[in-house]
Amino acid sequence: MSSSSLSDTSTGTLVRRRTFLQAAGVVAGATALTLAGCSDDTPTTPVDPYLLSLQEADAGLLNYLYLLEQLEAGFYQQVLDVPPTDLQASDLTYLRDLRDHELIHRETLLFALGSANAAPVPTLTFNFSTLNLTTRAGVLAAAKTFEELGVAAYNGVLHLVADTTTLQLLAKIASVEARHADFINELLTPNTFATTMVVNEGPLFSVAASKTPTQVIAEAAPFFLPYKVSVTALPTT
Amino acid sequence: MNFFEIIKQLAEVDSDVLGRLDSRRAVFSSLGTAAKRGAMAATPALLGAFFQKAYAGTSGTKVGTIAEIFKYALTLEQLEADFYKKMVDSSVFGSQSAAAQAAIRQIKKHEDAHVALLSAVLTGLGSPSTTTTTFKASAFPADWTGQLQVAQLLEDTGVRAYKGRAGDILAAGGAADANVTGVGTVNPLQAALQIHSVEARHAAHIRYMRSQTPWITGSGDLDGQEHYKGTTPESTTTQAGIDLLTVTSGKTYTTAEAAASFDEILTPAEVLDPVRAGALVG
């Protein structure tokens, strides 16, 4: 295994921490075991067992977006598992749609990682303790956070993808995420389309906001705890 | 529908279109008489097939320069901007809700800004656009309901059009930052995808205003129109080589969920086909 894979030492640790891998993480777990089997090749350096280091190049970008799709799917699942009492039936119908879209994105990216022979990050359990998910307003505010973050994340990395087919696949998801973001804004604050749409500043003000992986991971950091995500290997140009 | 007007429009956004058609010049020769031209112009299916041939196999390979691709985008943005100008100027606009008026004004503002941005980039690249595309007056609905229908079709088509050129921009070297005079540093691929993202929000919002799902499930009142079909229809449920209906993770998905999870591309020829935006160019 090369340095472009998940840090071997950290992956080996992850395998021992079975609670970290959910039942659905069979593929991730199997990959992690494979990686662990290669760990003799690499010099042992002290590695933070809670550090998830994403790969270089397209594999790293795919894993980065796979991680964010996991996060979004995990969030909607959490809401649907314990919905706030003031959430309306129509809200739930839409939140199920959103959950299903994010699950499909997640599984598609996992498959794409497999096709690219790239080790996926494990299936994570997220920490939503910083969110107020007991009221409709709290849930929608959190959903806005996730959707806007997702849109800005896609806008921040798609131009860094080297492979045309991968770019086209990701662009197909990116516009659906933008649809989600608009819809959540509408549910959260009806009739404020003109003022709530997140766009850029300056001469490029009419284009959608973008965020770098470093910015996105910093904002999402509380949800990954106790794990930390390193995006330093991802391409920047 | 004017066949030669469409060729002219295409040539403006893709200067190589005549080159593409060159090997099929025999088609033109054989259609040299006015009668035959008329027959062809009256046959959209034939026309569609003709463009399919002209652009066959170009997806994912280098088709044109950044300037040519941006001129194509500018054409569509000018079409949208003029459409929203017509909406705001329409006699029925003032009687709509404040929220609806604000939404349309906001979308118009974005489209105007997209026109300005793309024009500035083209000028900065030394390839200024000299054409102005307008929305065909006779195709503009007098009533608000009809206007919103056209708005939805335009926006959803716009999303597909930008997506359809992402690979071309990458192939044309557009993933590298360019220092554009008068604009500053622009990454053409990122900028195009950021506009694409805004268009998707417009599309979702117009759909919401029309009491449709913000995403394309296939069951919306307009989802069966040609704007949602094409070589890669919005109903597609296979992505990255996998059948989304069989993606498990302990769940199964409906066709609507699988189709709505991904938006699909349209090629330039498909976008400018008279069954879609081609018929709306003034």
Q: How many other CB atoms sit within 10 Å of the CB of residue B181?
A: 11
Minimal CA–CA distance to B112: which of B85, B134, B147, B149? B85
* Contact assignment for A108 to B214 by CB distance below 8 Å: no
B129: its two tokens: 């656009």
pLDDT at A192 over 90: no
* Contact assignment for B244 to A104 by CB distance below 8 Å: yes
Measured between CA atoms, the residue of chain A closest to residue B212 is A183
B34 at interface of A, judged by CB pairs closer than 8 A = no
A158: its two tokens: 């798609």
**Sequence-ordered list of residues with C-beta below 8 angstroms from that of B271, at least 6 positions apart, any chain:** B76, B157, B160, B161, B164, B277, B278
Ranges of beta strands (E only) in chain A are 51-53, 228-230
Residue with tokens 């509380």: A222
* Contact assignment for A172 to B264 by CB distance below 8 Å: yes
The span from the CA of A213 to the CA of B272, in Å, is 36
Most confident stretch, A5-14, A57-66, B10-19, B233-242 = A57-66
> Nearest-CA distance from B172 to chain A in Å?
12
CATH number of B66-219+265-280: 1.20.1260
Q: Residue B99: its chain A contacts at CB < 8 A?
A: 190-191, 193
The span from the CA of B177 to the CA of B260, in Å, is 33
**In terms of pLDDT, which residue wins out, A88 or A28?**
A88
DSSP state of A120: P
pLDDT at A206 over 90: no
B261: its two tokens: 């999870």
Minimal CA–CA distance to B44: which of B9, B12, B3? B3
> Nearest-CA distance from A93 to chain B in Å?
11
> Nearest-CA distance from B31 to chain A in Å?
38
Predicted confidence at residue B64, as pLDDT, reads 79
Residues of chain B with CATH 1.20.1260: 66-219+265-280
* Contact assignment for B184 to A207 by CB distance below 8 Å: no
Choosing among B168, B186, B197, which should be mutated to test the A contact, i.e. which has the most A CBs within 10 A? Answer: B197
Q: For A172-186, A192-206, B18-32, which range has the lowest pLDDT when averaged over its residues?
A: B18-32
Choosing among A70, A165, A182, A191, which should be mutated to test the B contact, i.e. which has the most B CBs within 10 A? Answer: A182
A36: its two tokens: 């662990």
* Contact assignment for A194 to B102 by CB distance below 8 Å: yes
The span from the CA of B114 to the CA of A84, in Å, is 41
* Contact assignment for B215 to A176 by CB distance below 8 Å: yes
Per-residue pLDDT tens for B232-275?
999 999 998 888 888 766 677 889 999 999 999 999 999 999 99
User: How many contacts (CB atoms, under 8 Å) link A and B?
Assistant: 184
Q: Residue A187: its chain B contacts at CB < 8 A?
A: none
Question: A190, exposed or middle or buried, with CB in 10 Å at 0-12, 13-18, 19+?
Answer: exposed
Identity of the amino acid at B36: K
Per-residue pLDDT tens for B33-83?
444 444 444 444 434 444 443 444 344 344 679 999 999 999 999 999 999
Measured at the CA of A188, the angle between CA A186 and CA A190, to 5 degrees, comes to: 45
Superfamily of domain A58-216 in CATH is: Ferritin, core subunit, four-helix bundle (1.20.1260.10)
B10: its two tokens: 């295409």
**Sequence-ordered list of residues with C-beta below 8 angstroms from that of A48, at least 6 positions apart, any chain:** A10, A228
Q: Are B61 and B55 in contact (CB under 8 A)?
A: no
Q: Residue A103: its chain B contacts at CB < 8 A?
A: 249, 251, 253
Choosing among A80, A159, A177, A199, which should be mutated to test the B contact, i.e. which has the most B CBs within 10 A? Answer: A159
Q: Residue B167: its chain A contacts at CB < 8 A?
A: 164, 167-168
Q: Are B86 and B150 in contact (CB under 8 A)?
A: no
Q: Residue B218: its chain A contacts at CB < 8 A?
A: none
> Nearest-CA distance from A127 to chain B in Å?
21
Per-residue pLDDT tens for A115-128?
999 999 999 999 99
Per-residue pLDDT tens for B183-205?
889 999 999 999 999 999 999 99
As a whole number, mean pLDDT of residues A21-43 equals 41
Q: Residue B249: its chain A contacts at CB < 8 A?
A: 24, 103, 106-107
Measured between CA atoms, the residue of chain A closest to residue B120 is A203
The span from the CA of B41 to the CA of A237, in Å, is 47
Ranges of beta strands (E only) in A62-188 are none
pLDDT at A3 over 90: no
> Nearest-CA distance from A45 to chain B in Å?
35
Q: Are A221 and A228 in contact (CB under 8 A)?
A: yes
Minimal CA–CA distance to A31: which of A51, A74, A1, A60? A1
Residue with tokens 């709509």: B96
Spell out the domain ranges in chain A. 58-216
